[in-house]
A = this chain, B = another copy of it.
Amino acid sequence: MIKINTKLLLGDCKEILKTLDSNSIDLIITSPPYADRRKHTYGGIKPEKYVEWFLPISEELLRVLRADGTFILNIKEKAENGERHTYVLELILALRKQGWLWTEEFIWHKKNCYPGKWPNRFRDAWERLLQFNKTKKFKMYQEEVMVPIGDWAKDRLKHLNEVDKIRDNAKNGSGFGKNVSNWLNREKAYPTNVLHLATECNNKNHSAVFPEDLPKWFIKLFTKEGDTVLDPFMGSGTTIVVAQRMKRNSIGIDILPEYIEIVKNKTSPVQYYLVEEKGIYETNKYKGCTKIC
């Protein structure tokens, strides 16, 4: 039996994070309140104050993350008064100064972006997914996110229904437990750093702008079953829900009791699974790093 914990913590993550153990998290994936957005829920941080506001939090994130762990930050600067703000650029520079490595910038191409029309710009159809690490030797399971090779897009147009069924099946039995290497050799290719995902429109109470596939992709890429995922700005809990479904321990923090309640109803605090053939507690390649950092 393996035991998966899902912890939901109420409070300001700057404070709550201090209660977490050092080097205990394998993956942080979060979408913090953008500057001046979500004023009614979060404070609504002024762009000029954004870096200053974020650094104390990221300092705690740096502490709780394992040396071979990864921090994925979903963010996009707003346009205001005809210009893009620069606080995200400044944040990247500041995080590096704080000790983070800026490893990569993935692009999330939002296929169905927010509608609108302006005389001076087009609709914004992409967001940044910034990857930060503590060390250069981080865990990365690239095979887990391999995609059907080449012109799968063309094929899908021709046989739309067929392929969609296949894709659905792949989703449901999402690859774990089976020995993948057999059937994916020349059928699949590694993805790039551009992710094409549609936002999910939730007509429910709280809109989940974050599509489930996004945390799912990064959780597959950077963690194994039994690892621990953290989202310090949980919101409606997409990351936490997906993590639990994928048999990862997870910790979600939010300042609003409302969100804690919502996610509580979508998850269970403890779950048990039968151990599969290949033990989940695999030898960690980079264990040595933990002591260094």
**What's the Cα separation between A79 and B105 when bound, in Å?**
10
Bound-state CA distance A157–B154 (Å) is: 8
Complex contacts, A193 vs chain B, CB 8 Å = 121-126
Given A123-B190, A126-B107, A191-B122, check contact A198 B160 (CB 8 Å).
Answer: yes
* Nearest chain B CB to A102 CB, angstrom units: 5
Distance between A138 CB and nearest chain B CB, rounded to angstroms: 7
Q: Which of B79, B101, B112, B171 makes the CB contact (< 8 A) with A167?
A: B112
- On whether the beta carbons of B84 and A104 are closer than 8 Å, the reply is yes
Q: Is A104 a contact partner of B121 (Cβ separation < 8 A)?
A: yes
How many A residues, CB 8 Å from partner? 60
Pick from B101, B164, B194: contact of A198, CB under 8 Å:
B164
Proximity string of chain A (135-166) to chain B, C-beta cutoff 8 Å, 1 when within and 0 when not = 01010101000000000011111111001100
B122 touches A103 (CB 8 A): no
Answer whether residue A20 sits at the interface, using C-beta atoms and an 8 A cutoff.
no
Whether a CB of chain B sits under 8 angstroms from the CB of A96 is yes
Determine if A293 is an interface residue (Cβ-Cβ < 8 Å): no
For the complex, give the distance between the alpha carbons of A190 and B123 in Å.
8
Task: Give me 20 other A-B pairs in contact (C-beta within 8 A), A86-B96, A111-B155 excluded.
Answer: A81-B136, A82-B103, A82-B136, A83-B103, A84-B102, A104-B121, A111-B156, A115-B174, A119-B140, A120-B136, A122-B192, A123-B192, A123-B193, A124-B192, A125-B192, A126-B194, A157-B158, A157-B160, A159-B196, A159-B197
